[in-house]
A and B are shown apart, each in its own frame.
Chain A
Amino acid sequence: DAGVTQSPTHLIKTRGQQVTLRCSPKSGHDTVSWYQQALGQGPQFIFQYYEEEERQRGNFPDRFSGHQFPNYSSELNVNALLLGDSALYLCASSLVGPYEQYFGPGTRLTVT
């Protein structure tokens, strides 16, 4: 079992650019959640996808958007990047419901 995988591992972008991060869930999982973890902070919930729809959204602007594909994999898109978007972006997969979430290794985004 490969577990949750994310790509790329690291990314450097310039302010104003757009970025796409990718996530493949753990085998058998149908729900994908995205979190942002700033340096020295706990992860903050961005949104969750189930059945290819955004089910819940955290306190993040519309510059953050996502997508879930029929094979349950997911993308996180961030437009008009700001310096404050620099963080570790974590993808987590689970079954739908109050179950444990399994995290990928994350994508480290640096905005300069």
Chain B
Amino acid sequence: AQSVTQLGSHVSVSEGALVLLRCNYSSSVPPYLFWYVQYPNQGLQLLLKYTSAATLVKGINGFEAEFKKSETSFHLTKPSAHMSDAAEYFCAVSVAAEGAQKLVFGQGTRLTINP
């Protein structure tokens, strides 16, 4: 079964430091992978998506992710953290079944930014 695992339920970095949020996937077919961000008391906002067009994917707010098939990873990075990046981040894989596509999410990583 297709799934994602996010390593680290809580990551804390200083403002201006590199942000690295880890996601590993399990899939028997080429996956469609996504990163979403959730601010407190809000829904999920799409940061970026991987659909096999390019291994390095650029998203909104300066985030990017690299698809590495050999490592089954899709880690999210940002060169310089900003206070406004503090939120919950979810990695997800699109799973096809019964003529439909559902998203299977990881458990999430809470990102804290220290001033």
Residues of A within 8 A of B (CB): 4, 6, 31, 33, 35, 40-45, 48, 50, 55-56, 58, 90, 92, 94, 96-106, 108
11 residue pairs A–B, Cβ–Cβ below 8 Å: A42-B106, A43-B105, A44-B105, A48-B100, A56-B102, A90-B44, A94-B101, A100-B46, A101-B46, A103-B36, A103-B43
Please state if B108 and A42 are interface contacts (CB–CB under 8 Å).
yes
Please state if A56 and B43 are interface contacts (CB–CB under 8 Å).
no
Least CB distance from B33 to A in Å reads: 10
Please state if A41 and B108 are interface contacts (CB–CB under 8 Å).
yes
Contact partners of B42 in chain A: CB under 8 A:
105-106
What is the CA–CA distance of A103 and B108 in the complex, to the nearest angstrom?
16
Q: In the complex, which of the residues A56, A90, A103, A106 contacts B100, with contact meaning CB atoms closer than 8 Å? A: A56
Contact partners of B45 in chain A: CB under 8 A:
103
Which 3 pairs of residues, A with B, have the shortest CB-CB distance? A42-B105, A55-B100, A56-B100
Contact partners of A55 in chain B: CB under 8 A:
98-100
Most buried by B among A43, A92, A108: A43
Please state if B90 and A106 are interface contacts (CB–CB under 8 Å).
no
Please state if B90 and A33 are interface contacts (CB–CB under 8 Å).
no
Interface size counted on chain B using CB atoms at 8 A: 27
Least CB distance from A107 to B in Å reads: 10
Given the interface pairs A104-B43, A105-B43, the reply to whether A41 lies near B107 with Cβ below 8 Å is yes
Contact partners of B32 in chain A: CB under 8 A:
98
CB contact list, B63-93 vs A, under 8 A: 90, 92
Does B25 interact with chain A (Cβ within 8 Å)? no
What is the CA–CA distance of A104 and B36 in the complex, to the nearest angstrom?
13
Q: In the complex, which of the residues A40, A45, A98 contacts B104, with contact meaning CB atoms closer than 8 Å? A: A45
Given the interface pairs A41-B108, A42-B108, A43-B90, the reply to whether A101 lies near B43 with Cβ below 8 Å is no
Least CB distance from B60 to A in Å reads: 12
Given the interface pairs A33-B102, A42-B108, A56-B102, the reply to whether A98 lies near B96 with Cβ below 8 Å is yes
Contact partners of A99 in chain B: CB under 8 A:
101
CB contact list, B5-39 vs A, under 8 A: 32, 34, 36
14 other contacts beyond A42-B105, A43-B103, with CB at 8 A cut-off?
A33-B102, A42-B92, A43-B105, A55-B98, A56-B98, A94-B101, A96-B100, A98-B101, A99-B101, A100-B34, A101-B46, A101-B103, A103-B44, A105-B42
